[in-house]
């Protein structure tokens, strides 16, 4: 009954370091998403993958890359972390992109010093 | 400019009281979702409303979609400490086959025992 699993739960980086956030879902969903959540800004879409083999930019894609490794896994990479990327990151999945019914992971709290 | 405005931003009330929180927009939504998020966790879907004027009940929670599908409200009867959390609305806008999901910034609700 895992749903959407994100790792790591917490991470501290220095400016310029790189890292990859991992996400996997076991619900056989077609669509997967990466959001960031900042105080007063709500959830903002970074990238999404409507189906296996496709990825598209969301509202705030700069500084990030993604890989839809297979139907289950969708990773988010920060190539050169910046303090502005300090945030809580959420991965989500849904059966399709059209119904707004998202299932979220428990988040990664990232601090960039 | 935030597409979805939620009010109030913060609400703190005594256990047993009733409350209503609002989600407003100038855009027409094809569907609207309400999520609840607890500290350290991702948002969890509570309900989806699709039809203008639709009312859905989930135990002590009543959700209403505006007739024009531009706004929604969440009413909680006899609030309990377990209702504490961040309540997010999210709306889907359909534009020539393109679906866009937007989240509001949320209402942070605290129920005082």
| A106 in reach of chain B (CB within 8 A) | yes
CA distance, residue A108 to nearest chain B CA (Å): 9
- List, for residues B50-100, the tens digit of each pLDDT value: 999 999 999 999 999 999 999 999 999 999 999 999 999 999 887 766 678
Does the beta-carbon distance from A107 to B104 stay under 8 Å?
Answer: no
Using the CB atoms, write b or e for B53-79: b if 16+ within 10 Å.
ebeeeeeebbbbbbeebbbbbbebeeb
Q: Indicate which of A42, A89, A91, A107 best probes the interface with B, i.e. most B CBs within 10 Å of its own CB.
A: A42
Does the beta-carbon distance from A42 to B106 stay under 8 Å?
Answer: yes
- List, for residues A22-78, the tens digit of each pLDDT value: 999 999 999 999 999 998 788 999 999 999 989 999 999 999 999 998 999 999 999
As a whole-number percent, the residues of chain B with pLDDT over 90 amount to 81
pLDDT of A101 > 80? The answer is yes
CA B22 from centroid of its chain's CA atoms: 7
pLDDT of B2 > 60? The answer is no
| B9 half-sphere exposure, CB direction, 13 A CA radius | 5
Does the beta-carbon distance from A41 to B48 stay under 8 Å?
Answer: no
Q: Which residues contact B59 (CB under 8 A, 6 or more apart)?
A: none
Residue with structure tokens 């509001």? B104
> Which is nearest to A24 in space by CA: A3, A49, A54, A55?
A3
Residue B41's closest chain A neighbor by CA?
A106
Nearest to B42 among A45, A99, A104 (CB): A104
């Amino acid at each position: 009954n895992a749903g959407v699993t994100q790792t790591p739960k917490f991470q501290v980086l220095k400016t310029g370091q790189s890292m990859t956030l991992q996400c996997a879902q076991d619900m056989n969903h077609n669509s997967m998403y990466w959001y960031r959540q900042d105080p007063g800004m709500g959830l903002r879409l970074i990238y999404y993958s409507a189906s296996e083999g496709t990825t598209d930019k969301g509202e705030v894609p700069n500084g990030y890359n993604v890989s839809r490794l297979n139907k289950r896994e969708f990773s988010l990479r920060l190539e050169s972390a910046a303090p502005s990327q300090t945030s809580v990151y959420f991965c989500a999945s849904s059966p399709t992109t059209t119904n707004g019914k998202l299932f979220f992971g428990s988040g990664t709290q990232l601090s960039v010093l | 400019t935030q597409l979805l405005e939620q009010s109030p931003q913060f609400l703190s009330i005594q256990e047993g009281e009733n409350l209503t929180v609002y989600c407003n927009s100038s855009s027409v939504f094809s569907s609207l979702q309400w999520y609840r998020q607890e500290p350290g966790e991702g948002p969890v879907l509570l309900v989806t409303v699709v039809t203008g004027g639709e009312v859905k009940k989930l135990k002590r929670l009543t959700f209403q979609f505006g007739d024009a599908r531009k706004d929604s409200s969440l009413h909680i009867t006899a609030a309990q400490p377990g209702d504490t959390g961040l309540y997010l609305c999210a709306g889907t806008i359909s534009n020539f086959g393109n679906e866009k999901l937007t989240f509001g910034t949320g209402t942070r609700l605290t129920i005082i025992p």
